[in-house]
Amino acid sequence: MHTEGKDHAELADIFNKDEKRVDWHDETLWFIRAKRDKAVHQLPEWEDLRNTASQIKHNVLSNLDKYLVEFEAQAQANGITVHWAADAAEHNRIVHQLIKDEGVTQMVKSKSMLTEECGLNEYLAEHGIEVIDSDLGERIVQLAKEPPSHIVLPCIHKKKGEIGDLFHMYLGTPSGLDDPQQLTEAARIHLRDTFLTRKVALTGVNFAIAETGEFVVCTNEGNADMGAHLANVHIACMGIEKIIPQRKHLSVFLRLLTRSATGQPITTYSSHFKKPREGQQMHLVLVDNGRTVQLGREEFRNSLKCIRCGACMNTCPVYRRSGGHSYHTAVAGPIGSILAPNLDMKKYADLPFASTLCGSCSNVCPVKIDIHDQLYKWRQVLVKEGYAPTVKKVGMQVMTTTLNSPTVYRLAGKMGRIVMKYAPFAVNNGLNPWYKNRDMPEPPKESFGEWYKKNRK
Amino acid sequence: MRVGLFIPCYVDQFYPGAAIATLQLLEKLGVEVVYPANQTCCGQPMANSGFEHLTHGCNELFIKNFDGFDYIVAPSGSCVLHVRDHLHDDKQEDKAKDVRSRVYELTTFLTDVLKVKSLPAKFPHKVGMHQSCHGQRGLHISSMSELVAPSFSKPGSLLAMVEGIEIVPLNRIDECCGFGGTFCVAEEAVSAKMGKDRVDDHLEHGAEYITGVDMSCLMHMEGILKRKGSKVKVLHIAQILNGSPTP
């Protein structure tokens, strides 16, 4: 498809040059998918939970305006300062201003895919603010100067030895270290120093409860809590779709989130933030950045139900063999491929095509987003908007003309089989992408139609 | 009962053996089968590539060919799913709706409509059963590993009626083979890798044949098997159920 610069197929082609690495990447993620299966099969009510979550989110999306206003009022009553950002740029400016107001040039940040989507780290770096990511995986990719390749497992594409090399270079560990325990210990020491010295901490938000004005942050490392509890200023950034109506709904999502993500029953830490402690400031930035546009696209509205568990990535056979970076967007994989074109159709026109529409993503989705159907629908929209390459357009026209006429179809089929039989070099060559790794089918002497005419009439 | 036989374009052109087996099998089971000669394609290659707006001619032709049959049966989950989900015609939507509701994938037709309880077929070989995604997840012809639900398989229950057959277990029971229509050329690297991995799972478990309900997935895997120089063959499930595996 016509994209600016990067294209999934080209990037995945590069990733596939190292087949052993692809195998390792695939097996690592499949291991997590298998863990997920084991975890969900322990709950006979699993499909009911998915239905319930999907319906709660349906309610939220249908009444988003109401819930957002309710949430804001409750949060303000709790002493939280609420900010609204229409887009990524405004979000970044707000966060930057809050850091400046505190008179510091450093910040510690726990996991937030929203800030990745908004390019916050780059923005702050350009403005002289040092950001240290405190999620271990995020810290690793940050040292490697790469974006996360997976929303829950940001450095799943990196091997232990590569992490050892990065730590050797940046954290002064001995060279050649690849023991996970020793590497984790080194990261712990490094991050502890960060937590103790940062006056501003930023976290993401997993769930925001309209009824009470509180928000919940889920981590396995406790790093969000470490950052937020030690800082003078806690900034939490959330997309406006993170709302759930009432506290009682939370249990449904907490049960679904990590079982889907990693196969754990629940995150190690599910931290509830309701009000700033004495002397602390708590700021909440509510970000639209295209979400209301997607809300208005009826066919794609369901994508806003996403709770960012990453299950669709782990199960996706294409993602597992492409690597997250091939998706060239903050949220990779199947869900990212239906979110990204909403942000920029031209830039991400290739992504809805990076799928076989196998449907596994929709089946693992804890909120039952019809992901593969939306991928199909995006294809139709993108082609109509003119983002199909000319070669493809011409090819499809020729195919249509052929298939619209039984006579032309039969003739073309016959010719095709003759060419394959007597001039196989015309199809078995480097210009035919099929032939690169696969043989062509052997042409039969007659089509079924021809056989039928002789044998049944 | 009059059944219209819908043979997908690439099966017609490249795998007539699968089509002949489908026809013979249905006839053996006492069904009156008619193959409308003017059929071409269901339009899926265009639709899945984003060109659904170009499928009107195919849809019209499909309705013209298959209107009026009690059932329409095809040896393909993928093409049937496309017809079920996407066949429309503004000028005759009633007929389109009727066609959509009458179209069946072969094994589903055998288990759900004909309620076949036995088959006169023998196939004393080790066979790997490939679950094609569109049939499985789209048409629910077998249970899906992602869902918490009872396990079942319509093609599996039919293969169990074949004398001497041994179905080999697989590490990943329903992973996609990577064919994906135009995906196989547009995303050549990933598609080929998926196909290789899928084939290796079957080979690792000693399959002598790989079968399934969709010839397109089998064509993809056959291309990879041949490139490897493997002696393992692909057969459409109709060819095994019909008891005459050679085309």
Residue A124 and residue A182 in one domain: yes
pLDDT at B69: 97
Looking at A373, A388, A403, the residue that finishes a domain is A388
| Shortest Cα distance, chain B CAs vs residue A434, angstroms | 6
Residue A19 and residue A88 in one domain: no
Cβ atoms of residues A294 and A116 within 8 Å: no
Cβ atoms of residues A274 and A213 within 8 Å: yes
Q: Which residues of A touch B226 (CB under 8 A)?
A: 438-439
Who contacts B105 (Cβ-Cβ below 8 Å, separation ≥6)?
Answer: B73, B74, B75, B76, B77, B80, B81, B135, B139, B141, B213
Cβ atoms of residues B111 and B153 within 8 Å: no
Contact B147 A438 (CB under 8 A): no
Residue A29 and residue A56 in one domain: no
Indicate if the pLDDT at residue B22 is higher than 90.
yes
pLDDT at A400: 93
Up-side HSE of residue A101: CA atoms within 13 Å toward CB?
13
Q: Which residues of B touch A332 (CB under 8 A)?
A: none
In angstroms, the CA B159 to CA A56 distance is: 42
Indicate if the pLDDT at residue A312 is higher than 60.
yes
Ranges in chain B annotated CATH 3.40.50: 126-242
In angstroms, the CA A26 to CA A24 distance is: 5
Written as one letter, the residue type at A128 is G
In angstroms, the CA A211 to CA A244 distance is: 8
Predicted TM-score (pTM) of the model is: 0.96
Residue A15 and residue A121 in one domain: no
What mean pLDDT comes out for the span A281-302?
97
Cβ atoms of residues A187 and A243 within 8 Å: no
Phi, psi values for residue A106, rounded to 5°: -135, 150
Cβ atoms of residues B179 and B45 within 8 Å: no
Q: Which residues of A touch B131 (CB under 8 A)?
A: none
In angstroms, the CA A33 to CA A333 distance is: 14
Contact A358 B176 (CB under 8 A): yes
Name which of A281-285, A344-348, A421-425 the model is least confident about: A421-425
Indicate if the pLDDT at residue A231 is higher than 90.
yes
In angstroms, the CA B247 to CA B238 distance is: 11
Written as one letter, the residue type at A372 is H
Burial class (CB in 10 A: 0-12, 13-18, 19+), A158: middle
Q: Which residues of B touch A447 (CB under 8 A)?
A: 12-13, 16
Rg for chain B, CA atoms, rounded: 17
pLDDT at A2: 53
In angstroms, the CA B79 to CA A380 distance is: 18
Distance of CA B227 to the CA centre of its chain: 23
In angstroms, the CA A139 to CA A169 distance is: 14
Who contacts B117 (Cβ-Cβ below 8 Å, separation ≥6)?
Answer: B161
Find the closest chain B residue to A405 by CA distance. Answer: B40
Q: What fold does the segment set B126-242 form as a domain?
A: Rossmann fold (3.40.50)
In angstroms, the CA B137 to CA B195 distance is: 19
* Higher pLDDT pick, A426 / A125: A125
pLDDT at B244: 64
| Shortest Cα distance, chain A CAs vs residue B215, angstroms | 11
Q: Give the pair of three-digit tokens for residue A37.
A: 């299966």
Looking at A388, A410, A438, the residue that finishes a domain is A388
Residue A258 and residue A216 in one domain: yes
Give pLDDT tens digits for B98-149.
999 999 999 999 999 999 999 989 999 999 999 999 999 999 999 999 999 9
pLDDT at A425: 78
Residue A371 and residue A247 in one domain: no
Give the containing element (helix H, strand E) for B25.
helix B16-28
Residues in chain A, total = 457
Looking at A229, A258, A289, the residue that finishes a domain is A289
Find the closest chain A residue to B42 by CA distance. Answer: A403
Number of domains in chain A: 3
pLDDT at B210: 98
In angstroms, the CA A424 to CA A427 distance is: 6
Contact B37 A449 (CB under 8 A): yes
Give pLDDT tens digits for A392-432.
999 999 999 999 999 999 999 888 888 888 877 777 777 78
Q: Which residues of B touch A327 (CB under 8 A)?
A: none
Q: What percent of chain B has pLDDT over 70?
A: 98
pLDDT at A428: 79
CATH number for the domain including A114?
Answer: 3.40.50.10420
Q: Give the pair of three-digit tokens for residue A448.
A: 């079924």
Who contacts B169 (Cβ-Cβ below 8 Å, separation ≥6)?
Answer: B205
Q: Cα A35–A305–A210 angle (5° rounding)?
A: 110
Q: What percent of chain A has pLDDT over 90?
A: 91
pLDDT at B245: 58
pLDDT at A432: 85
pLDDT at A27: 98
Nearest to B133 among A40, A356, A456 (CB): A356
The gap between the terminal CA atoms of chain B, to the nearest Å, is 27
Cβ atoms of residues A229 and A30 within 8 Å: no
Contact B224 A446 (CB under 8 A): no
Indicate if the pLDDT at residue A224 is higher than 80.
yes
| Shortest Cα distance, chain A CAs vs residue B118, angstroms | 26
Indicate if the pLDDT at residue A106 is higher than 90.
yes
Q: How high is the ipTM of this complex?
A: 0.97
Residue A168 and residue A242 in one domain: yes
The 10 Å CB-count burial string (b at 16+, else e) for A3-14 is: beeebbbbbbbe
Give pLDDT tens digits for A161-192.
999 999 999 999 999 999 999 999 999 999 99
Instruction: Give the model's confidence band at A69: pLDDT under 50 very low, under 70 low, under 90 confident, else very high.
Output: very high
Residue A239 and residue A125 in one domain: yes
**DSSP letter (8 states) at residue B110:** I
CATH number for the domain including A312?
Answer: 1.10.1060
Q: Tell me the residue range of the domain where A326 lies.
A: 1-42+297-388
Residue A282 and residue A181 in one domain: yes
Instruction: Give the model's confidence band at B247: pLDDT under 50 very low, under 70 low, under 90 confident, else very high.
Output: very low
Interface test with A, best of B130, B188, B196, B231 (most A CBs within 10 A): B188
Give pLDDT tens digits for B63-90.
999 999 999 999 999 999 999 999 999 9
Contact A443 B14 (CB under 8 A): yes
Residue A376 and residue A408 in one domain: no
Nearest to B82 by CA among B59, B60, B115: B59
pLDDT at A3: 56
Indicate if the pLDDT at residue A1 is higher than 90.
no
Residue A149 and residue A49 in one domain: yes
Nearest to B180 among A356, A433, A448 (CB): A356
Size of interface A-B (CB pairs under 8 A): 210
What sections of A41-177 are H helices per DSSP? 46-62, 64-77, 88-101, 113-118, 120-126, 136-143, 160-171
| Shortest Cα distance, chain A CAs vs residue B113, angstroms | 25
What mean pLDDT comes out for the span B164-190?
96
Cβ atoms of residues B146 and B104 within 8 Å: no
Contact A388 B51 (CB under 8 A): yes
Who contacts B116 (Cβ-Cβ below 8 Å, separation ≥6)?
Answer: B29, B110, B158, B161
pLDDT at A121: 97
Residue A8 and residue A129 in one domain: no
| Shortest Cα distance, chain B CAs vs residue A324, angstroms | 13
Beta bridge pairs of residue A272 = A216
In angstroms, the CA A109 to CA A132 distance is: 6
Instruction: Give the model's confidence band at B211: pLDDT under 50 very low, under 70 low, under 90 confident, else very high.
Output: very high
